[in-house]
Chains A and B, each alone.
Chain A
């Protein structure tokens, strides 16, 4: 199976610079639709789904490979090598910020800049470090996932997979938005919320933009500042937007911040 099919890669826009958008936990590339449709006027936009999410090839999911964020970073590197010949801008939401970090540490030559939206290097409180959650909180999340996937069955999968030659980001796709196999969703949740990449931060050579929401219950402001202090060549922008998904709740402000950062020399 080709990497394009496996990750449901979609490329729009015609700019000379490529931005690869990576969705976060719990969703798929659909979350970028507002931001992407604006930025495609000036940039070449690459959208994809992680294996296990959206319309990716579920059969390629491996609990072993995706047992750590490194497995996802491997895929990010492969995708960039498949879609671009020049260094790219990698924009990752939430856990994808750390996946991008790991990938950029491994092959910095593939990256021009990183944009991290609502990033957190570690979600679990640890001594003085306040990630915002405890281990038992994560267990409660898994239970909530169980409760909300009772109606989800494999029978959904064909619905998600069909309509191969769909128009880009068609609105009827909203029906399958954020739908994930419950077992994969739980596994990804565990891998995401139990990851700890604090030790990796100083190794990043690629410049980065941190977009921090004013009131984010997943990645608090203190975490954004922690990152800014430890990531070399990082810029921190505090948005007025609240919540964890400014690209959805405040797309204009998010687009403006991204444009400003990318227009800087």
Chain B
């Protein structure tokens, strides 16, 4: 614009490259004018070409809404026209035109209403832009958005996203459920107001992992022992993680928080821990009381032994010095000495048992059962010969057990088989069989057998089925039972009176003590 034209107050000399009508017709967008009743009064050539009509057809009594799809028509009547009436101007309305051939032309439309003159509504002017590609793009965007939303709504974890300032922009249904917030209410609120995180044990508030992720730009991994305080006052144990959301240039534009309810797992874990602690406490208590008991037995046995030794020595002294003067009393004296010897043997056993109970060492090395049976037979040689017993055994495996303990078992079982022999010479056989992960040893004899009612009792300490006429204190099988059970096996007997007995015990092929 030159100084000149401004001073003249005249319109600047803008060259027109054609008549106004030509400009209108050749415009790169559709132009349409309707009366207040919606009838088309004028349309430019661009629009009539787009729609496949010749200009006359468009003017022949058609209304604007006749050119639209039905959906567009309803939208026009319920929204566009009202907006135009009230605001006089509406822009960027998306409507679909129907071409003469029935195909659809997606368009963006700006509308103006001519100011009303003397109370009558004015003409309507529309500029129409072909938006085929744009609308396709928008539909794809919408579909992607919906897919994303459906995906996030479908997953079982709670998801909350925020903007770069940590304000909630999205929550999925699981997040609504756990936090007690509705997405609509939470949107725009600070993340640490909507998802209040506390330490599980102290309920002291901790920094929300999203804020941490936004501040540091780092992914925040699962933090243990976090709880979520919900809007309605629940305290829910959760696993959570958070990450910054970056745009394609790497700028942090938001954050996302993912968490899940783990209160059930944590409750189970807690119960398990409690049960373990309780079991350990009971084990400790049991061990203590066992140790006390062993100690007591050892002390008691020891303290009983010396006075008993005195009794025996003095009794023998009396027998030696005054035996010939005792007359019938000498028999009584012999009974006294025998009783004292038995008591001494009992005390000896008690000491052994107590020592064994407090000895908790567990073998970890393999030992050859064949050798330990042979050792036991050697020890028992005198009574085997004396009773004309025959002892045989299978080829036995290697087992994980203290060798002296294994000798003790065989010695007790073979010894018992000889002690409780029947009228015939004892025949004793040590066998072995496979049993799921275990060796099952057996010791079969042809002795007197054991009444079914006593078969469980005999493994209890100091239980004797026979009177003092049979040797033994009743501690042997109790010790066997303890050895076997400590090694992870069990011991039992199958027997019928006068038909012999078979003692069984199992030992694990692999040490259960690990």
| Min CB gap A89→B, angstroms | 23
**B78 and A144 within 8 A (CB):** no
Chain B contacts for A244, CB-based, 8 A: 77-78, 81
Residue of A58, A142, A175, A249 ringed by the most chain B CB atoms within 10 A = A249
Partner of B78, one of A24, A59, A151, A252: A24
List, sorted by A's number, 17 A–B pairs whose CB atoms are closer than 8 Å.
A26-B82, A59-B185, A138-B71, A141-B75, A146-B142, A148-B93, A150-B94, A178-B79, A217-B63, A217-B73, A218-B78, A242-B37, A243-B77, A245-B81, A248-B81, A249-B85, A249-B121
| Min CB gap B63→A, angstroms | 8
Chain A contacts for B83, CB-based, 8 A: 177-178
B223-236: CB near A (< 8 Å → 1, else 0) gives 00000000000000
A188 to B135, CA, bound (A): 24
| Min CB gap B79→A, angstroms | 5
**B87 and A140 within 8 A (CB):** no
Chain A contacts for B71, CB-based, 8 A: 137-144
A131-173: CB near B (< 8 Å → 1, else 0) gives 0011001111111111110110010000000000000000000
**B187 and A154 within 8 A (CB):** yes
| Min CB gap A235→B, angstroms | 24
Specify the chain A residue showing the minimal Cβ separation from B85.
Answer: A248
By a beta-carbon cutoff of 8 Å, the part of chain B in contact with chain A is: 36-38, 63, 65, 69-75, 77-79, 81-83, 85-87, 92-96, 106, 119, 121, 135, 138-139, 142, 184-185, 187-188
7 new A-B contacts, CB < 8 A, other than A33-B86, A177-B86, A245-B81, are A147-B139, A175-B87, A177-B82, A217-B77, A243-B77, A244-B81, A248-B81
Chain B contacts for A174, CB-based, 8 A: 86-87
Specify the chain B residue showing the minimal Cβ separation from A25.
Answer: B78
Chain B contacts for A177, CB-based, 8 A: 82-83, 86-87
Chain B contacts for A147, CB-based, 8 A: 94, 106, 135, 138-139
A31 to B78, CA, bound (A): 11
A16-53: CB near B (< 8 Å → 1, else 0) gives 00000000111100110100000000000000000000
Chain B contacts for A58, CB-based, 8 A: 184
Specify the chain B residue showing the minimal Cβ separation from A244.
Answer: B77
Is A72 at the interface (CB under 8 A from chain B)?
no
Chain B contacts for A25, CB-based, 8 A: 78
| Min CB gap A5→B, angstroms | 17
A235 to B73, CA, bound (A): 28
Partner of B82, one of A31, A138, A151: A31
| Min CB gap B120→A, angstroms | 10
| Min CB gap B221→A, angstroms | 32
Is A196 at the interface (CB under 8 A from chain B)?
no
By a beta-carbon cutoff of 8 Å, the part of chain A in contact with chain B is: 24-27, 30-31, 33, 58-59, 94, 133-134, 137-148, 150-151, 154, 174-175, 177-178, 193, 215, 217-218, 242-245, 248-249, 252
**B74 and A218 within 8 A (CB):** yes
**B86 and A243 within 8 A (CB):** no
Residue of A59, A138, A144, A177 ringed by the most chain B CB atoms within 10 A = A144
Chain A contacts for B63, CB-based, 8 A: 215, 217
A215 to B36, CA, bound (A): 13
**B85 and A150 within 8 A (CB):** no
**A27 and B78 within 8 A (CB):** yes
A115 to B139, CA, bound (A): 40
- B contacts with A: majority SS: helix
**B75 and A245 within 8 A (CB):** no
| Min CB gap A124→B, angstroms | 11
Chain B contacts for A141, CB-based, 8 A: 70-71, 74-75
Chain B contacts for A138, CB-based, 8 A: 71
Partner of A178, one of B36, B70, B82, B119: B82
- Check A218/B77 contact, CB under 8 A, given A142-B71, A242-B38: yes
Specify the chain A residue showing the minimal Cβ separation from B138.
Answer: A150
What are the nearest 5 A-B pairs in CB distance? A140-B71, A26-B78, A137-B70, A147-B94, A141-B71
Chain A contacts for B94, CB-based, 8 A: 144, 147-148, 150
| Min CB gap A57→B, angstroms | 12
Chain B contacts for A252, CB-based, 8 A: 119
Chain A contacts for B119, CB-based, 8 A: 252
Specify the chain B residue showing the minimal Cβ separation from A30.
Answer: B86
A94 to B81, CA, bound (A): 15
Chain B contacts for A154, CB-based, 8 A: 184, 187-188
Chain A contacts for B188, CB-based, 8 A: 154
Chain B contacts for A139, CB-based, 8 A: 71
Chain A contacts for B93, CB-based, 8 A: 148
Chain B contacts for A133, CB-based, 8 A: 70, 74
Specify the chain A residue showing the minimal Cβ separation from B106.
Answer: A147
Chain A contacts for B74, CB-based, 8 A: 133, 137, 141, 144, 193, 217-218
| Min CB gap B287→A, angstroms | 64
**A148 and B75 within 8 A (CB):** yes
- Check A59/B184 contact, CB under 8 A, given A142-B71, A147-B94: yes
A144 to B138, CA, bound (A): 12
Specify the chain A residue showing the minimal Cβ separation from B88.
Answer: A174
A145 to B81, CA, bound (A): 15
Residue of B38, B82, B93, B119 ringed by the most chain A CB atoms within 10 A = B82
A114 to B42, CA, bound (A): 40
A138 to B135, CA, bound (A): 19
**B75 and A243 within 8 A (CB):** no
**B75 and A144 within 8 A (CB):** yes
Chain A contacts for B72, CB-based, 8 A: 140, 144
Residue of B78, B94, B121 ringed by the most chain A CB atoms within 10 A = B78
Chain A contacts for B69, CB-based, 8 A: 140, 144
| Min CB gap B115→A, angstroms | 15
Chain A contacts for B78, CB-based, 8 A: 24-27, 94, 218, 244
| Min CB gap A219→B, angstroms | 10
Chain B contacts for A193, CB-based, 8 A: 74
| Min CB gap A161→B, angstroms | 13
Chain B contacts for A145, CB-based, 8 A: 75
| Min CB gap A49→B, angstroms | 14
**A144 and B96 within 8 A (CB):** yes
